[in-house]
Amino acid sequence: MLIGQSTEHGSEKPFHAINPATGEQLAPAFGSGTVLDVERACALADQAFDAYRETTLAQRAAFLEKIADNLIDIGPALIERAMQESGLPQVRLEGERGRTVGQLRLFAKVVGDGAWLATALDSALPKRTPPRPDMRLRKIALGPVAVFGASNFPLAFSVAGGDTASALAAGCPVVVKAHGAHPGTSELVAKAVQAAVAACGLPEGVFSMLHGDGRTIGQALVSHPAIKAVGFTGSRQGGMALVRAAAQRAEPIPVYAEMSSSNPMFLLPNALARHAARIGSGFIDSLTLGAGQFCTNPGLVVAMGGPDLDAFCAAAVTALEGKPASTMLTPGIYAAYNDGVSRLAGAPGVTLLARGQQGNTACAGKGALFATDAATFLANPALEEEVFGASSLVIKCSEIGQLRQIAEYLDGQLTATVFLEQDDQQEARGLLPVLERKAGRILVNGYPTGVEVCHAMVHGGPFPATSDSRSTSVGASAIDRFLRPVSYQDLPSWLLPEALQDDNPLQLWRVRDGVPVRA
C-alpha cells in the first residue's frame, strides 16, 4: 500500500492475485489494510486539500503530464504484470496504457485551458434600484475523492484511470481502493503517481492507494468525513452499497457509480434489409471483443421479425460459432457469466441460437446468443438484466411500434445504437426522443464497444447505468463531477483569486456582464 509518501505492507489478511488463464496464484502476497490505514490516508488527503486545490493551472497540468511520463517509463513490466493478473492480451493492454496516458494528457490540457473554472463577473451597479453588488463566480475543487479500481480495465479505469485523472485535475486529492484482481499492476501504477507527487513538490496526501476487502476498506473510505465524493466502476450491487453508505453519512456525499447496462441495438427495417449479414457479423465482433467484458457490450438486439432478421441471425450464428473462447478477468466474473448464460438458457420463451468455441484456459468464456419475442421480453424483467460477458439476446418484434415500446420499457443505459438508412427516417425520428431519455450516448450505424476519450464524450446515463445521470466518467466533462461553484460578493481586489481578477492574469475566457470575453 502507498499512504502518502510511505510504502508499506498491509497488516491484515494476505491475498494473492490469480492468473485467470491458469488458475495459479501469483507472487507476491499482498497485505490488506485496516480502518486505521484508511484514517491515515484520508487525514493526509484532508491536510493536502487546501494547498493542492490552489496550485496554479500550470503546476497541476505539469503534475498530470508527469504521471503520464512515469507510466510510460515503467516499460514492459507494467504490461507483463497486467497480462498475468487479467488474462488480457498484450496488444489490448498496450492500447489501454495509451488510453490511460492520453486521458492524463487530456486533463492536463483541460486544466491549462481553465474553461472548467466557469468564471463569471457581474459588475457592481450602485445607481440601480436596488443596487447590485460586485459579483464574481468560479468553480473550486469539491474535496478529497475516493476512487475504486475497476476489474475490467486494470489501467484505464483503475489507479490512474479516468476518475483519478479528472479528480486530480479538479484539484482534489485522491485515495484509491485498488481492485483485488490486479494488485501488482495497481502497485506499479501507484508508485508512478507517488513519484510524480514528490517530483512536483506537492503535499504527500495528494495521493494514496490501499488494498483490502471492499466491505471493510471500501465502506470505511466512503464513510470517512474527509471524503467528499466517490468514483466507482463495477456491479450494480457494489455501486448501490456505496451509494447507501454515502447517503447515510452525517454529511451525505455524491457517488458517481457506473454500474450495469445492456446497451441495446435497434435495427430499423431498411438498414436491416440492405445490410443484415454485415451488421450481424460486425455485431459478433463487438460482442466478443475482450471476452465481452466491456460496460458498453451490446447485450440486446431489437428488430422486426422476418427474413431480414433471419439473415442477420444466420450471419451472427456463423460468426459466433467461429469465435474462440477468451479468458475472462477473474474466476468470480467467469462463474457469474456462466450463471447468467444458464439463467437465459432456462428462461421460458428464450431460444439458444449459438455458442462460441470451447476454450482451453481456466476461465475461458464461450460467447452465447439467444432469441426471444417482444411479448416474452416485455413480460419478464429478468431478461433485461446485464450478463457481463459475451452474451446477447435478440428480440423479435411483430410490428414496428414494438421497437419504441421496448425502448420505453428499458432501464437507463450507457449507450443505445440505431442502424438506419435514409428511408428509415420516420421510425428513427420516433425512436430518438425515447433514446435521449434512456441513454448517455446514441450511436448510428456503429457498435457501442470503444469509448473515445474526447471533449464530446458522455460515458454515463440514467439509472442503473449510473447513479447520477448528470455526469460522465470519460471525456473532458468528467472533471465537473468534482467541482462546485463559489460566488464572491464585493471582495477587495487584493483578496480575489487570480481567475477573477480584473486584469485577467490567466487569460481565461470569462462571462463578463453576460458577454463571453477574454478580458
Distance CA 259, CA 275 (A): 32
CA atoms within 13 A on the CB side of 273: 7
- Which of 96, 172, 187, 295 is labelled catalytic? 295
> To the nearest 10°, the Cα dihedral for 128, 132, 136, 141?
-150
Closest CA to 353 of 293, 400, 283, 421: 283
In single-letter form, the type of residue at position 343 comes to R
Interior angle at CA 306, CA 304 and CA 318, nearest 5: 100
* Max Cα distance, the chain (Å): 81
Write the DSSP string, 347-394. STT-EEEEE-----STTEEPPEEEEEEHHHHHH-GGGGS--SSSEEEE
- Contact at 8 Å (CB) between 172 and 229? yes
Tell me the torsion sign for CA atoms 382, 386, 392, 394: positive
Length of the chain: 519
Distance CA 224, CA 154 (A): 25
- Can 258 be counted among the known catalytic residues? yes
Interior angle at CA 471, CA 467 and CA 475, nearest 5: 130
If residue 309 lies in a helix (H) or strand (E), which one and from where to where? Answer: helix 307-321
User: What residue has cell string 490486479?
Assistant: 182
- Contact at 8 Å (CB) between 170 and 479? yes
- Which of 65, 96, 187, 258 is labelled catalytic? 258
First to last CA, the chain: 46
Q: Enumerate the active-site residues.
A: 258, 295
